[in-house]
């Protein structure tokens, strides 16, 4: 979907409306609005506890203009699975004629950690729904605790940088490949910095029969410590540095969607972020080297999976 068409669809029929309380510069509403605009069919959404849920439904208000269900942190995929099963029963008995799409949203805390079991079960059972992880790389709704998606070296409130530990010492999980390991029809990694790519992938996800997963990099100015006006720019640097590659997996086949003309060094992505500032003091040079090596190694592995030349 081109930018003009996307803007027209979002403006004409905003399924997530204005008036939410998400932070200035938060990427999540951009991601949600863009994805929901890619289908004209009715949509039912489930939403795990998190920033998106809390800030869009402060009682007695809601920003959702579609049927929407709040689930706990750990069970949005199970909730939407039940809705899909009920819909299929109504269709089978002729009590419902409309074609309806189903989607669940969760942050990385829900998707990578607390709700991973529920997500895995829903994918394995083959329910026909789209799961979207808006990945801001931490438990931002509850104060910036580290999650399984928090990058190596980042400071978090439960893994602060200090004399004992210089931030998180583990590399993040790869949820995209974990989802692909369930042998589902469609999995893709996207970024808020490239809405044409994101909406193309969302259109595919809604069209496939069976589960589809979108894992989207969602900049968080509040706890990344970046200016709200730099939201898209920071996400773009994440892509250009190959920290967050854009690719998709259709029926087990990997495809690279974007290859930077010149890969940006990881320090350009990390230096503007407050959560990495301790890595730039003398004595932590080895951690910067570890980050760059890990990103380089992962990129080379992905190129091979996609059948691309190094």
Query: What is the average per-residue pLDDT within 290-294?
Result: 98
Residue 43's pLDDT band (cuts 50, 70, 90)? very high
Give per-residue pLDDT as tens, 153-205: 999 999 999 989 999 999 999 999 999 999 999 999 999 999 999 999 999 99
Say if residue 4's pLDDT is above 90. Answer: no
Tokens read off for 279: 């890595």
User: What is the distance between the alpha carbons of residues 283 and 279, in angstroms, rounded to a whole number?
Assistant: 8
Confidence label for 276 from pLDDT (cuts 50, 70 and 90):
very high
Q: Would you state the pLDDT for residue 172? A: 97
Show Cβ contacts of residue 276 under 8 Å, excluding neighbours closer than 6 positions.
Answer: 153, 154, 155, 167, 270
Q: For the chain, give the number of residues.
A: 310
Helix or strand (DSSP H, E) at 259: none
The confidence band for 9, taking pLDDT boundaries of 50, 70 and 90, is confident
CA distance 81 to 118: 10
CATH topology of domain 3-305: Rossmann fold (3.40.50)
Q: Say if CB 138 and CB 150 are below 8 A apart.
A: yes
CA distance readout (Å), 143 to 50, 136, 158: 11, 13, 9
Task: Give the closest residue to 23 by CA, choosing from 141, 107, 138.
Answer: 141
User: Is the pLDDT assigned to residue 2 strictly greater than 80?
Assistant: no
Helix and strand numbers (H, E) in the chain are 12, 8
Q: Which helix (H) or strand (E) holds 77?
A: helix 76-92
Averaged pLDDT, 251-278: 98
Asked whether 169 and 152 are in contact (CB, 8 A), the reply is yes
| Percent of the chain whose predicted confidence (pLDDT) is above 70 | 100
Is residue 99 pLDDT above 80, yes or no?
yes
195-207 vs 28-36: helix crossing angle, rounded to 10: 50
Residue 138, CA atoms < 13 Å, CB-side half-sphere: 28
């Amino acid at each position: 979907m081109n930018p003009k068409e996307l803007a027209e669809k979002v403006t004409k029929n905003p399924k997530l409306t204005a008036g939410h309380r998400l932070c200035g510069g938060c990427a999540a509403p951009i991601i949600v609005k863009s994805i929901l605009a890619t289908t004209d069919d009715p949509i039912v959404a489930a939403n795990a506890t998190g920033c998106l849920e809390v800030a869009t439904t402060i009682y007695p208000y809601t920003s959702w203009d579609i049927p929407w269900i709040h689930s706990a942190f750990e069970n949005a995929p199970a909730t939407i699975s039940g809705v899909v099963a009920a819909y299929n029963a109504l269709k089978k008995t002729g009590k419902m004629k409309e074609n309806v799409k189903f989607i669940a949203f969760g942050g990385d805390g829900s998707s990578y950690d607390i709700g991973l079991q529920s997500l895995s079960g829903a994918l394995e059972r083959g329910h026909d729904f789209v799961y979207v992880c808006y990945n801001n790389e931490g438990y931002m709704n509850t104060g910036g605790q580290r999650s399984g998606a928090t990058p190596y070296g980042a400071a978090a409130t439960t893994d602060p940088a200090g004399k004992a530990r210089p931030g998180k010492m583990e590399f993040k999980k790869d949820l995209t490949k974990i989802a692909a390991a369930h042998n589902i029809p469609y999995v893709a990694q996207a970024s808020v910095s490239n809405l044409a790519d994101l909406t193309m992938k969302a259109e595919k996800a809604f069209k496939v029969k069976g589960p589809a997963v979108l894992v989207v990099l969602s900049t968080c100015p509040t706890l990344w410590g970046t200016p709200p006006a730099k939201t898209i720019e920071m996400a773009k640097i994440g892509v250009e540095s190959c920290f967050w590659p854009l690719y998709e997996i259709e029926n087990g086949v990997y495809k690279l969607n974007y290859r930077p003309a010149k890969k940006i060094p990881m320090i350009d992505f990390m230096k503007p972020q407050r959560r990495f500032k301790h890595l730039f003091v003398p004595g932590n040079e080895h951690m910067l080297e570890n980050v760059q090596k890990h990103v380089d190694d992962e990129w080379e592995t992905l190129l091979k999976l996609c059948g691309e030349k190094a």
